[in-house]
Amino acid sequence: MKKFLVYVIVGVVTFTIGYNVNLIYFPDLSPKQPINFSHKIHAGDNSIPCQYCHIYADKSTVSGVPNVQRCIGCHKIIKQDAPEIQKLQGYWDRKETIPWVKVYNLPDFVYFSHKRHVKAGVPCQRCHGDVAKMDRITRQAVLFGIPYARVSPLKMGWCLDCHTNGAKEFIGMQVKNGRDCWTCHK
């Protein structure tokens, strides 16, 4: 009887550990996208500025997923023969939009504005990582080929890091009222 209890306890404890290991260390940080779009080719090799495609980043709360017309605008001419571009052409011909998978997702109770951050001069890479080196967008940082942490945990403490003292390096000043709850929770 006593032994059985020990099994149960060990079972429950390891179950919890297993569950949390999955949630914490195996989140889907680099989901597969409907088209194998490479930021490395666009932003890295060809040095296209972020806001050439993410056109609302300095105007609105959202940065804006590029509309299909914008992709086709260049790819009418460029690399028409590549299989992934033909996928894109397929969407355009069918007049469908591309169901991209969201990588950075904030909960509803957080108010976040791209406009404010872009206007303040925060570089995109500060939160989104060095996308110019990524083939597929990922939030997983890799050291010697081993994934070890996330690029941006998107947790409140991480936000407050900059909001309380860490913003000087990019914007040259402290965030005003950085600790005000209402800045993000409205």
Residues that bind other proteins (CB under 8 A): 3, 6-7, 10-23, 26-28, 31, 56, 59-62, 64-69, 92, 95-102, 105
Whole-angstrom distance, CA of residue 32 vs CA of residue 36: 8
Q: Are 129 and 151 in contact (CB under 8 A)?
A: yes
- For 154, phi and psi rounded to 5 degrees? 55, 35
- Residue with token string 């945990």: 153
Q: How far is the CB of 172 from other proteins (least distance, A)?
A: 27
CB nearer to other proteins: give 100 or 158: 100
At residue 130, the 3 state secondary structure works out as coil
Q: How far is the CB of 6 from other proteins (least distance, A)?
A: 7
Class of residue 46 by CB neighbours under 10 A (exposed 0-12, middle 13-18, buried 19+) = exposed
Q: How far is the CB of 174 from other proteins (least distance, A)?
A: 27
CB nearer to other proteins: give 22 or 177: 22
Q: How far is the CB of 3 from other proteins (least distance, A)?
A: 7
CB nearer to other proteins: give 100 or 170: 100
CB nearer to other proteins: give 154 or 160: 154
Chain mean position to CA 87: 23
